[in-house]
Amino acid sequence: MSDIYTNNYVIVAIFLILGVLLPVATVSFVGPLLRPKKPTREKQTTYESGNIPVGDSWVRFNVKYYIFALMFVIFDVETLFLYPWAVAYKELGLFALVEMVIFISLLIIGLIYAWRKKVLEWN
Amino acid sequence: MNTLLQQAPSWGTTLWFIIAAVLLLAVVLGFVTYAIYFERKVIGWMQLRIGPNRVGPLGLLQTVADVAKLLLKEDVRPQHADKALFTLAPILAYAPAFAVLAVMPFSESIQFADLGIGLLYYIALSGITVLGVITAGWASNNKYSLIGGLRSAAQMISYEVPLVMSVVGIVLLTGSMNLEDIVKAQQDVWNIVPQFIGFAVFIIAAQAELNRTPFDLPEAESELVGGYHVEYSGFRFAMFMLAEYVYMFGMGALITILFLGGWLPIHPSLDFIPGIVWFILKFSLYVFLQFWIRATMPRLRVDQLMSFAWKVLLPVALFNILLTAVVVSYQNGMF
């Protein structure tokens, strides 16, 4: 049993390493042998449809993105709780259903609140 | 593969796993090459054009020529870019797209890792791609790519919520997150029938996760030039494109496994046809659907896109979970 377990994660590790290796090998090792390298100042300027860029692009941006990121964290963590519940559901019986209805309704209240506060509008 | 998995881990078995993984990588790269070719061909036919037909017979070598050209292009890195992150971003985008394939059972005999948490593994790793996108947008130090990167990130995280919720119904029905168990549980009826709401939510959210029409705003070439990869050229750019199509391969395989019965035949009397053929047929159907949608649908507006995820898909996915839970308890005689 533990052999299968180890083997499975060996495979996962191989896939991860292979996934990193392909871009690294092609971009850093095979690429330089094939492609030209003639950097000039003009070539390395930031592209802005021909205009000379004004200022930096590392600026503070719209707070809206953070609110969506927060909403994502809340609902994604909720789903993490839903998965073990779903796996064990058939053994747990009616109690689990009632529990989860309460849990989901709390989150629906949160969603309605965000909705009423017009957080979900994008303008 | 199954007998290999049972053996004690050693360098010998590891070598076999490496060979198998490299073979799968070759298959995936072949798929990407011809998915791009057929995408252009199919959309061409739908628009009464011929599509690529110059490079090689019937244009079959078109993508090969494109990749070779990208490999020969100079690797331009803007002077003001963040060097380390600029290099890291394509790897962050590509590696998880390939690593998720480790848990896919393609048929009864062709499968790699048989994780008990296969579904969770897919969801967890596919989330990393967002990091690649946002890193690329930020590191380029370009206004277009910053806007494109943040928009992509907002879109991808918004649609990830309904995506992961829509499969809870399947876990409820199966009682397992192992992808092989999920396929075997579909012996009588494919999940697309009892989980139709989940399927509808999943397929829409998957479209947004893949950044494909009608949710291809991150690429919005008419307004953002190219989105988060404006400053990328040569093979770094190719890595983003590759990641997109490898991710499409993963999503197609996942939809086939979760909803379309994986390698199971359409009717038990047809099981003399090998499982992998059924898998490829169902998988190709999904890939064709992608091209069809791209040729048909216009792009959504950004505000419609965000409110659709939160105001329509999320409540529907939650409703689906509750409905499935009630039905499952009723079937098990809990009421």
* Residue A36, domain CATH: 1.20.58.1610
Please tell me whether residues B205 and B64 are part of one structural domain.
no
Contact A108 B172 (CB under 8 A): no
Please tell me whether residues B129 and B220 are part of one structural domain.
yes
Beta bridge partners of B105: B111
Closest residue in B to A74 (Cα) is: B161
Number of domains composing chain A: 1
A87 contacts in chain B (CB < 8 Å): 171, 175-177
Please tell me whether residues B87 and B228 are part of one structural domain.
yes
What is the distance in angstroms between the Cα of A34 and the nearest Cα belonging to chain B?
A: 6
How confident is the model at residue B28, as a pLDDT? 93
Mutate to test the interface with A, among B168, B236, B303, B316 (most CBs of A within 10 A): B168
Among B99, B138, B168, select the one facing A79 at the smallest CB separation: B168
Mutate to test the interface with A, among B155, B314, B330 (most CBs of A within 10 A): B314
Please tell me whether residues B65 and B84 are part of one structural domain.
no
In a domain, A59, yes or no: yes
Please check whether residue B93 is in contact with residue B129, taking contact to mean a CB–CB distance below 8 angstroms. yes
Please check whether residue B329 is in contact with residue B335, taking contact to mean a CB–CB distance below 8 angstroms. yes
What is the pLDDT confidence band of residue A1, given thresholds at 50, 70 and 90? Answer: low
Radius of gyration of chain A (CA): 25
In a domain, A122, yes or no: no
Q: Which domain holds residue A33?
A: 2-116
Please tell me whether residues B226 and B297 are part of one structural domain.
yes
CB proximity list for A92: less than 8 A, separation 6 or greater: A85
Contact A45 B302 (CB under 8 A): no
Q: Which domain holds residue B58?
A: 1-72
How confident is the model at residue B335, as a pLDDT? 67
Of residues B212 and A13, more confidently modeled: A13
Mean pLDDT per segment of 10 residues, for chain B of length 335 residues? 75 88 93 92 92 87 89 85 88 91 88 87 89 88 85 88 92 91 90 92 91 77 73 86 91 93 86 89 93 88 85 92 90 76
Please check whether residue B298 is in contact with residue B231, taking contact to mean a CB–CB distance below 8 angstroms. no
In a domain, A123, yes or no: no
> Is the pLDDT assigned to residue A17 strictly greater than 90?
yes
Beta bridge partners of B111: B105
In a domain, A6, yes or no: yes
Last residue of a domain, one of B36, B51, B72: B72
Number of domains composing chain B: 2
Mutate to test the interface with B, among A29, A38, A122 (most CBs of B within 10 A): A122
Angle (CA) A73 B237 B38, round 5°: 95
The chain-wide mean pLDDT, for chain A, equals: 85
Contact B236 A47 (CB under 8 A): no
Among A18, A20, A89, select the one facing B175 at the smallest CB separation: A89
Please tell me whether residues B83 and B184 are part of one structural domain.
yes
Residue A59's CB is within 10 A of a number of other CB atoms, namely 8
Q: Is B224 on the interface with A (CB under 8 A)?
A: no
Please tell me whether residues B26 and B91 are part of one structural domain.
no
Q: Is B120 on the interface with A (CB under 8 A)?
A: yes
In a domain, A121, yes or no: no
A37 contacts in chain B (CB < 8 Å): 74-75
How confident is the model at residue A44, as a pLDDT? 81
Among B99, B120, B311, select the one facing A120 at the smallest CB separation: B311
Q: What is the pLDDT of residues A23-39, one digit of tens each?
A: 898 888 888 888 888 88
In a domain, A24, yes or no: yes
A–B CB contacts, 8 A cutoff, strictly below? 230
Please tell me whether residues B267 and B215 are part of one structural domain.
yes
Contact A7 B4 (CB under 8 A): yes
In a domain, A38, yes or no: yes
Last residue of a domain, one of B44, B72, B100: B72
Surface of B (84-113) touching A: CB under 8 A: 87, 90-91, 94-99, 101-103, 112-113
Please tell me whether residues B44 and B108 are part of one structural domain.
no
Last residue of a domain, one of B51, B72, B93: B72
CB proximity list for B294: less than 8 A, separation 6 or greater: B39, B43, B212, B213
Contact A27 B90 (CB under 8 A): yes
